[in-house]
Amino acid sequence: MPHDKIVHDLMIPLNKCPAVLPNDTVQRAITLLKKAAASGHQCVLVVDEDGQPIGILSRRVLLQILEPKFVVTDRWALPVFWSGFFTDKCKAEAQKKVKEIMRPINLQTVEADDPIIKAVHMMVNNHVGLLPVLKEGKVAGVLRLHEIFQEIAGLVTDLYEK
């Protein structure tokens, strides 16, 4: 019977993750995220002065800050916004500090020696695509949905190509 990998086997080390400081602008975070997207990153870490992650800024959070606050339904009820709304909103939000919109990192974490299936369970049940990985009580890296999918694809491909 094959041995399942653990979180450590698939995690991205902290020093390989794009990161910003809490007082950086959202504009800087977006620029960094755009560059990092080529390597599969869909979020940036927010780190303190010691380089320890304190938050995450994802594409979803960036979309959420653009959502008009006066739309209180999940159905699009307004036929047309005034001209320039989207552009104006993007420019205004880009000047905010990252700390104003980031998601705290301590919401959900996994240990480096946890089985991958535990990480899958946490991602599915908490609707997240990235989990901070703890080693000896400190964040050592992150586990992304991307790497888990690559592992699944590799296992399935190997299984059916034999």
Cα–Cα dist 21/19, whole Å: 7
Residue 75 has pLDDT above 80, yes or no: no
Q: Rounded to two decimals, what is the model's pTM? A: 0.78
Residue 89 has pLDDT above 90, yes or no: no
Q: Find out whether 23 and 47 touch, Cβ atoms under 8 Å.
A: no
Q: What average pLDDT does range 49-78 have in this prediction? A: 77
Confidence of residue 3 (pLDDT cuts 50, 70, 90): confident
Q: Which domains does the chain have, with CATH numbers?
A: 7-161 (3.10.580.10)
Cα–Cα separations (whole angstroms), residue 54 to 31, 35, 48, 131: 20, 21, 7, 13
Cα–Cα dist 46/32, whole Å: 12
What was the pLDDT predicted at 128?
A: 85
Neighbours of 58 (CB within 10 A): 18
Q: Find out whether 58 and 142 touch, Cβ atoms under 8 Å.
A: no
pLDDT digits (tens, 9 = 90+) for 106-154: 678 999 999 999 999 999 998 888 899 999 988 899 999 989 999 999 8
What was the pLDDT predicted at 78?
A: 56
Instruction: Output the CA torsion sign for 118, 124, 125, 128.
Output: positive
pLDDT digits (tens, 9 = 90+) for 50-63: 888 899 898 888 88
The residue among 72 and 41 whose pLDDT is bigger is 41
Q: Find out whether 46 and 55 touch, Cβ atoms under 8 Å.
A: yes
Cα–Cα dist 145/130, whole Å: 6
